């Protein structure tokens, strides 16, 4: 999986890049996951689409604000030096205004068209991602577990949009997302550790080059993910098809980390990253199949 990017070819594509489409897609998938489980299916597709619109706007705005705050660090890294702000395609002030506007519009849509709880969860996600996680990357390796909190909030927003409140199943999905993010982001940090070092980001593979603690973090989060994912069955939100499928799916995810633990190579990190990216869509498909059948 190639992380380096060429410079955008137009102003329009540069603004799209500010939205961080890859992260947004994961946010939307996890939002649908929470909406589907909370509503025990999807009865109102227009409500879901409005939820996704508001969520996409706030997520995109958060991405733009992250670009703004990290513009100087991005100049120092090979994989980010061609982003819209370091490359000069978009002035920093424009990116700041763009991000604030998107967050404002998305929050207004969620509060007025869905409910206050969903809007609150969305703005809380932006706050934690932009004003807590982003500056912590320069301070401590704990930015990854702390940053996993806003990353795990979108399914709560989806659940709240469907039901107007949060139930135990919502917090189980939150826990699944929280645990999932650790191998995902540690794999990226491993692949880009030289870049992160140039930008003085305190990622775990940077401050601990032999990789032992990183591997431990990856494996204990993946190991915990197996029983935590089963809790949806125990709690009653999913059935037997789900519990059998999720044990297999999560176990394969766990096994995909073995090459990295054995060889401590970039290729092993790429395999783990690819596995993490396909895990969430497969989890959503599994939940849907379990409900339908």
- 5: pLDDT strictly greater than 80: no
pLDDT of 237 reads: 86
Residue 230 has pLDDT above 90, yes or no: yes
Query: How far is the C-alpha of 77 from the C-alpha of 198, rounded, in Å?
Result: 7
Binned at pLDDT 50, 70 and 90, residue 3 comes out as: low
Q: How confident is the model over 87-132, as pLDDT tens digits?
A: 999 999 999 999 999 999 999 999 999 999 999 999 999 999 999 9
The pLDDT of residue 8 is above 80:
no
Q: How far apart, in whole angstroms, are the C-alpha atoms of residue 126 and residue 150? A: 7
Measured CA angle at 243 (ends 237, 246), to 5 deg = 110
Q: How far apart are CA 288 and CA 293, in angstroms?
A: 9
Q: What is the pLDDT of residue 9?
A: 75
CA 151, 152, 154, 159: dihedral to nearest 10 degrees? 180
Write the pLDDT tens digit of every residue in 124-134: 999 999 999 99
Among 64, 70, 33, which residue's Cα sits nearest to residue 180?
33
Q: What are the structural domains, with CATH classification, of the chain?
A: 11-292 (1.10.600.10)
CA distances from 67 to 17, 96, 195, 270 (A): 10, 9, 16, 24
199 has a pLDDT exceeding 60: yes
Provide Rg for the chain, Cα atoms.
Answer: 19
pLDDT band at 220 (very low <50, low <70, confident <90, very high): very high
Return the pLDDT at 2: 45
Q: Quick check: 194 and 225 in contact, CB under 8 A?
A: no
**Model pLDDT, residue 15:** 95
Can you tell me the distance from the alpha carbon of 272 to that of 218, in angstroms, rounded to the nearest whole number?
10
How many CB atoms are located within 10 Å of the residue 144 CB?
25
Q: Is the pLDDT of residue 189 over 90?
A: yes
Q: What is the pLDDT of residue 1?
A: 42
pLDDT of residue 75: 93
């Amino acid at each position: 999986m190639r992380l380096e990017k060429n410079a955008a070819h137009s102003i329009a594509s540069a603004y799209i890049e500010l939205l961080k489409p890859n992260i947004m897609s994961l946010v939307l998938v996890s939002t649908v996951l929470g909406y589907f489980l909370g509503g025990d299916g999807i009865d109102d597709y227009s409500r879901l689409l409005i939820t996704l619109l508001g969520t996409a706007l706030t997520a995109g705005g958060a991405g733009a604000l992250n670009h703004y705050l990290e513009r100087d660090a991005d100049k120092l890294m090979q994989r980010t030096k061609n982003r819209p702000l370091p490359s000069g395609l978009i002035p920093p002030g424009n990116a700041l205004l763009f991000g604030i506007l998107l967050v404002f519009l998305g929050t207004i849509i969620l509060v007025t068209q869905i409910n206050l709880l969903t809007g609150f969860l969305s703005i809380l996600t932006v706050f934690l991602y932009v004003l807590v996680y982003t500056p912590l990357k320069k301070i401590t390796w704990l930015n990854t577990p702390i940053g996993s909190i806003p990353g795990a909030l979108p399914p709560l927003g989806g659940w709240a949009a469907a039901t107007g409140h949060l139930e135990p199943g919502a917090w189980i999905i939150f826990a699944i997302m929280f645990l999932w993010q650790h191998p995902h982001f540690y794999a990226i940090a491993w692949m880009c550790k030289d870049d992160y070092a140039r930008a003085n980001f305190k990622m775990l593979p940077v401050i601990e080059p032999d990789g032992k603690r990183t591997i431990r973090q990856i494996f204990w989060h993946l190991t915990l993910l197996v029983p935590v994912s089963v809790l949806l069955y125990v709690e009653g939100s999913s059935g037997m098809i789900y519990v059998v499928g999720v044990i297999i799916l999560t176990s394969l995810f766990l096994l995909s980390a073995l090459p990295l633990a054995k060889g401590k190579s970039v290729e092993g990190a790429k395999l783990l990253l690819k596995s993490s990216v396909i895990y969430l869509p497969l989890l959503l498909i599994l939940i849907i199949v379990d409900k339908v059948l």
